[in-house]
Structure 1
C-alpha cells in the first residue's frame, strides 16, 4: 500500500525533471525574441500567459526558466546533504574533540536565520547562480549534520554493528555497509522536503539580485523584473509565481509520500 502511494508522486517528479531538462527545446517561442507591438499583451492565443514588457512570450520564458530554477534547487539540496551527512557520520561514529568542535560550529550556523545568512554569504560570492547555490548549501548543512549524527549515535551500539566489528570490518566498511543503509531513510525524506524550500530560497536570492540575473530566465528574477507592474499587468508577475507554486507543491507531495513510505 505504501509503495502504491509513492508511484504517482514519483511519476510527477520524474516528468517534471525531464520536462525541466529539455525545457529550452519545448518553448513554443524564442525566449529572446522581442516584439514591442505585442508588449504587455494579456493572456490570449497564441500567448497563453501573455507577454512581458518587451513582447516576449511569458509561457516560453517560464518553461525555459524551469531548468535553472529546479536543478539549482536540487544542487543546493544535494550539496548540503552530502556535506552534512559526511560531517554527521564522522562526528557521531568517531566522537571526540572533532565532534564537539564541529557541533559547536553547526550551533553557530543554526543560531542565525538561514535565509539572512545566505543573503550575506551570496553577497560575498557575487557569482550568480553558482554563488547562490554555495551560499544556501553553506548555511543548510548543519541540519543534515545534526540529523545524521543523531541517527548514527542511535545505531552504532547496535548488535549488527558489534558483529561487523568482530568480523574484522574496518570503519569505512561499517559506515557504508551497515550504518548508512540504516539511516538513509530519514535523510532522503528530509532532502526531498527541502527541495521545495531550496527552490523558494533560490528564487528569493534571484529576486534580490543575488542569484540568476537577466537575461537568464529564472523564476525569482522574472518576478523581480516585473514586481512594479503587478497592479497593471499582473500576468507577467504571476506566471513565474504560479510555476513556483506548482513545482513546490509537487516536491512537497513527493516528500510526504516518501515520509509515509519510510515511516519516519
Structure 2
C-alpha cells in the first residue's frame, strides 16, 4: 500500500492530483529544488505551493511546471504571477486590499480565470477594479542604474564568467526593435548611458575600479523595484552628516520626491 502512495502521503491528507501526474517529472523537479527550498518541496508534495520574488529559479520552475501539469492545486502568490507567467487556473482569489492593486494589476493577475474571488476588499474598490480601463503603457529607456548594478553583481559573483558575460550582453540587446537604423541609434545611446552610469556608481562609492560592488550596493539591488528611491536613500546616507543643520529639509525633500516618483 505504501508503494502506491505519492511520497507516503494518504489521499485524504493531500490536495495533489496524483492520478494525472508524471511521477518521474515530479521527482526530477523536486530533486533540483529540494536543497534550497525544503519547505516549498514539502508543501508541493501535498499539492500546495507559494510563488513570490524571493523564491529562486529552481523553486519557481518547479511550481510553474507542476501547476500547469495539474499536480499542484493551490498556489499562494504575490504579483509575480501577473508578469506574463503561463499558469492557467479556474479561480483567482485576491486576499486583502493593497495600494499596489490597481486595474492593470487586477487584469494581469486574474487573466482568463472563470471565477474571481475578493477577500476583505471594499465593494467600492472592487467596482473600481472591474470597470476601470487599463492605463496606457509608456515607453522608457531600456537600461537603468539599478539594472546595471545587477548585471555587475551577476558577473562578479558568477563562477562561470563567460556565461555571465553572455547573459549580460543578451540583456542589453533589444530584439523587438524592427528598424535597423533605430537599433543602431539605441545601441549607441545605450553604450553612452552605460559609461555615464558606471562613472556615476563609482563616484557614489558603489563600485570599485574593478567593477566590484562595494558599500551599499548590495541593499540597493534588493530594492531595485523602488528605483530611483533606492539611489536617493544612498545619497541621503552619504551626505546627511555633512548637512546635519538641514536634516529636516532633507527628510521632507526625500519623502516628497519618493512619493512623487511612485505616484
Whether TM exceeds 0.5 here: the answer is: no
Higher relative contact order by CA 8 Å / sep ≥ 6: 1 or 2? 1
Question: Normalising to structure 1: TM-score of the pair?
Answer: 0.21
Larger Rg: 2
Larger helix proportion of the pair: 1
Q: TM-score w.r.t. structure 2 length?
A: 0.21
Higher strand content, 1 or 2: 2
